Amino acid sequence: MDEFPIIFIDADEDDHDMFKQAIAELNLTHPVLVFSEGKTALNYLTTTHQLPFLIISEISMPGMSGLELRQQIDKDSQLRRKCIPFIFMTHPVIDSLIEEAYELTIQGMFEKKVTFEAWKTQLAAIIAYWTECQHPKRFLK
């Protein structure tokens, strides 16, 4: 099974479809895993042997929010050691949430773009950055 999936967590089914379409059009080799809630994503992260390439999460979701998900990841020493880049892609971006999110050592926050093409361009830039970035998880086996 291929390693290094891109994990997308968002309660909005339309955003799931747009994300999958954008990734497909970008011709990326990373498999895509989509979750509708933080708790399900956390369960996956704590039980999988795969090493995710990137986590992209909405902040506002029913049940476990993106902020709560990030807190749970930070509390888990095994997940912390995986050094999975974690970014928020959300709308709307609220100043107080930006500060709260960065206190949780996220690696970025982006406002969802309105058009599909703008969103695809934004995703391409994010993924290109993490493809080139040197970080500890590249050395994990």
55: in domain: yes
1: in domain: no
| Residue 137 confidence class, pLDDT cut points 50, 70, 90 | low
Its domain, for residue 91, covers: 6-139
pLDDT tens-digit series, residues 127-136: 999 988 887 7
Whole-angstrom Cα distance, residue 43 to residue 70? 13
pLDDT tens-digit series, residues 115-126: 999 999 999 999
Of how many residues is the chain composed? 141
126: in domain: yes
Report the CATH number that the domain containing residue 14 is assigned in CATH: 3.40.50.2300
Indicate the number of domains in the chain: 1
Strand-pair category, 108-111 with 32-35: unpaired
pLDDT tens-digit series, residues 75-96: 999 998 888 999 999 888 888 8
Q: Where are the alpha helices (DSSP H) in 48-134?
A: 66-75, 77-81, 95-103, 116-132
Q: Single out the residue of 59, 52, 5, 54 nearest to residue 37, CA to CA.
A: 59
CB-based contact 88:111 (threshold 8 Å): no
Q: Where are the alpha helices (DSSP H) in 26-87?
A: 38-47, 66-75, 77-81
pTM of the complete model = 0.91
Strand-pair category, 54-57 with 6-9: parallel
Q: Dihedral through CA 87, CA 1, CA 19, CA 135, nearest 10?
A: 20
CB-based contact 63:74 (threshold 8 Å): no
